[in-house]
Amino acid sequence: MKATLIRVYGSRVTRGTLHCVAKGKKMQIKTIELPWANNEKGASCIPVGIYEVVYAYSPRLKKKTYRVVDVPCRDGILFHPANFAKQLKGCIAPCKAFADLDNDGVIDGTNSRLAVEELENFFEKNGFTLEIK
């Protein structure tokens, strides 16, 4: 099982398309992240690379979610709901589409909770390999 995240970097938000493949099926989900800021903890998206993603309990969210492991100089990188990049501290927020929800000129993500549920259902709450390009 694999997902490839193709990013479009911006100065205030990084948009992406997550291409998922599992058991012969394919799915795409949009994502939002913080902009690239030299992998600074809490202020940057994570570096391009290949990572393992596990489905595990998050003490911060108080539930199971997808966690990206072995990110250089970083930890606690989760896939979790967020509609605005300013809600993120380096994590990845799946979403259904892009829109400027609060009319501030920054692209936001729509229906993030639904997108997280779709991701969990697609991978059946199993881990996967994530390639970020």
The per-residue pLDDT for range 58-80, each reduced to its tens digit, is 998 999 999 999 999 999 999 99
Q: How far is CA 108 from CA 36, 39, 43, 56, 77, in A?
A: 16, 21, 17, 26, 19
How much is the pLDDT for 24? 94
| pLDDT, average across residues 90-96 | 98
| pLDDT of res. 102 | 96
Q: Which two tokens stand for residue 1?
A: 């099982």
pLDDT of residue 96: 98
> What's the mean pLDDT when you consider all of the chain?
97
106, 12 Cβ separation under 8 angstroms: yes
Domain extent at residue 56: 2-132
pLDDT for 106-128, tens place per residue?
999 999 999 999 999 999 999 99
